[in-house]
Amino acid sequence: MRRHRFRRWLSLHRRHEIRDPIRELFLFRKRLWLTGLAMLLIFGVLLGRVFYLQVIAHQQYQTQAENNRIAIVPVGPSRGTISDRNGTTLAQSFSAYTLELTPSRIDRLETTLAQLGKLIEITPRDLRRFRRAMDESRNFDSLPLRTKLSDEEVARFAVYKYRFPGVDIRARLYRQYPLGETASHVLGHIGRINDRDIEQLTRSGSLLNYKGTDHIGKTGVELSYEETLHGIVGFDEVEVDALGRAVRSLTRVPPIPGDHLQLTIDLRLQQLAEQALGESKGAVVAMDPNNGEILAMASTPGYDPNLFVEGIDVANWDRLNTSPDKPLLNRALRGAYPPGSTVKPFLALGALVSGKRTPEQAISDPGYFDLPTGAGRAHRFRDQKTDGHGRVDMHKSIVVSCDTYYYVLASETDIDDTARFMSQFGFGQKTGIDLEGEAIGVLPSRAWKRERFSGSRYREEHRRWYLGDSVSAGIGQGYSNATPLQLAYATATLANDGVSYRPHLVKRIIDGTTGQTKEVLPEETRRLDLKPAHLAAIKKAMVDVNREGTAARIFKDAPYTSAGKTGTAQVFSLRGERYIEEQVKHHLRDHAWFIAYAPAEKPVIAVAIIVENGGFGARAAGPIARALFDYYLTGAQTATIPKPDGDSEGWEE
């Protein structure tokens, strides 16, 4: 019964009904046309939907379609070139094809890499570099796998391109340093933009300008003139398909190329300096005292900046970064060494200016200076010449580089007065050269010492200034520290009678578009009030250093007059014992200094040279100055740099 009721409820109970065909047909048609009406209603809904999409929401979808279709592709400007003062190219940009992968669009990266390897030669080094780049970037970036593809490789890949979604060939701008290691520290290098650069660019508000750029200056001129060299980004408005491939270009705002730099560096002089330094560690700075132009700035060992452009591989990085020779260090700019005897002419000038000494005033040098330490005891400061120089006046003190003379002078002069005078020659401060990361060295004074030992692990006795500190500083030792650049600047200031110019590396800026040149004008930094008589006394002594003094042999038969001063920076304190070069390990040997300018009458070049562990200044550093002067003043190339004899006899200071 229950089932029957269910059937009746479902109207499935008409088995025995007598059927009326007319009524049946009427009921069928009723249902049929009711259905027709429902269909029309539903079509109405469809029409309403389409009306909504195409009329009411049209604007929104129009925008979305345009956003789909149009991509703004930034176009990086071409980076300006860098040349030496005579126009020889030192850094240039060129365009070449790269094979690039977008990891986010590649399903199986390893398989793709393996298959690409069969088509185009990919070295393990390329792979390592690629993986490193992948770690450093977000994975929707396009990353270079192989650079500088040949035309043949491009053609070969083009045939099989369809097999490699997410792999593209692109024309990219490259940086090349055609001379390799030459002037590497001056030029510096560019490298791929990393997160820190992005942070920096964001802060300076120039991130947008780097949208199409992969590289940025990391060191050297490439870094300090980044803004000038880079240029202004352009934009391509392109139509893209669903895979992001550009179909055609719509509008184009071309990039404005970066400006070219012409350096003050004289490439020949630079190469000469690097060759002269040879295998030694050291630095040479040569500048024009009349305007501050840096003519050569060498630091050895150097490195090949080309290695850094596309991201340096691990092996090369480790080699450069962990080498005890520190090839990445720009010694000319950042190497601070005790200036040694090279400070003597400046200290002597200070004594003349302050009236502490007259040129004629002389001491008797027994070969040492005893500084009383109280209770009848004394600390003995030794001269290089153990039996003393005898009677020594100011002229002789410079020519033979008598230490005792300066021990006495220092013991009678307040260190703060000395510091005040020396700071006028740029010691203890930045020269203001157009390179980043300049070291300031140390110009010792009471204030400096107090500051230096202000840490809580030091006590008052560490912070106090002792007369012994003054005596050490009196021969450029002790706390004294200066960079080759600072010494070159000080020498140039002296050579130019107290008028100094800011050292700079860029001579002119050439507009990347119009080719118009803008000269970098010399910028006077100081004009010291010095008496001609005082200057003449010091300069005469320095001329005689090269004529009859410690550097006489080096400048024998030079067709010009030059002035110089040798110096030796102690690496290792022998605690009063005699320094015998052959008995000291090479890396503990003294550093050789030489400062010089020429021609003495009207200087056009001033140099500061250091050769690490070179021993006596005259022997290792002096010949380099001779070679530079010969070339720069006479155009002659010294066939062989005069090498003094092995023994120190006649070369001592």
Partner 1 sequence: MSIRDHFSTVWLRFTRHIDGPLMAITLLLLAVGAVVLFSAVLPDTGRFVQQMKSIGVALVVMWIVANIPPHRLAQIALPLYLVGVLLLVAVAFFGVTVNNSQRWLAIGGFRFQPSELLKLAVPLLLAWYFQKVEARINFGNFLIAMLLIALPAWLIKRQPDLGTALLVAASGFYVLYLARLSWKTIFLMVATAVPLIWLLAHDYQKQRVLAFLNPAADPLRSGYHTLQSQIAIGSGGLTGKGWMQGTQAHLDFLPERHTDFIFAVYSEEFGLVGNIVLLMLYTALLLRALMIASHASSLFGRLLAGAITLMLFTYVTVNMGMVSGILPVVGVPLPFISYGGTAMLSLFICIGILMSIQTHRKLVST
Query: CB of residue 105 vs partner 1: minimum separation in angstroms?
Result: 12
Q: How far apart are alpha carbons 313 and 321 in whole angstroms?
A: 12
Structure tokens at 291: 């305007």
Identify which of residues 11 and 95 has a Cβ nearer to partner 1 in the complex.
11
Query: CB of residue 10 vs partner 1: minimum separation in angstroms?
Result: 5
User: What is the C-alpha end-to-end distance of the chain, expressed in Å?
Assistant: 132
Query: Which among 184, 341, 470, 472 is annotated as catalytic?
Result: 341
Q: Three-state SS across 27-83? A: HHHHHHHHHHHHHHHHHHHHHHHHHHHHHHCHHHHHHHHHHHHEEEEEECCCCCCEE
CB 367 within 8 A of CB 388: yes
Query: CB of residue 3 vs partner 1: minimum separation in angstroms?
Result: 8
Q: How far is CA 86 from CA 91, 165, 270, 642, in A?
A: 14, 48, 12, 28
Identify which of residues 49 and 252 has a Cβ nearer to partner 1 in the complex.
49
Residues that bind partner 1 (CB under 8 A): 7, 9-15, 17, 19, 24, 27-29, 31-33, 35-36, 39-40, 42-43, 45-47, 49-51, 53-55, 57-58, 60-62, 64-66, 68-69, 239-243, 247
Query: CB of residue 154 vs partner 1: minimum separation in angstroms?
Result: 24
Q: How far apart are alpha carbons 425 and 423 in whole angstroms?
A: 5
CB 432 within 8 A of CB 502: yes
Q: Three-state SS across 350-414? A: HHHHHCCCCCCCCEEECCEEEEEEECCEEEEEECCCCCCCEEECHHHHHHCCCHHHHHHHHHHCC
**Omega before 254 cis (within 30°)?**
no
Q: Residue 258: helix, strand or coil by DSSP?
A: coil
Q: Residue 555: helix, strand or coil by DSSP?
A: coil
Identify which of residues 164 and 466 has a Cβ nearer to partner 1 in the complex.
164
Query: CB of residue 57 vs partner 1: minimum separation in angstroms?
Result: 5
Identify which of residues 64 and 373 has a Cβ nearer to partner 1 in the complex.
64
Centre a 10 Å sphere on the Cβ of residue 557 and count the other Cβ atoms it contains. Answer: 5
Query: CB of residue 104 vs partner 1: minimum separation in angstroms?
Result: 11
Identify which of residues 33 and 94 has a Cβ nearer to partner 1 in the complex.
33
Q: How far apart are alpha carbons 106 and 145 in whole angstroms?
A: 14
> Is 500 a catalytic site residue?
no
Identify which of residues 46 and 580 has a Cβ nearer to partner 1 in the complex.
46
Active-site annotation, residues: 341
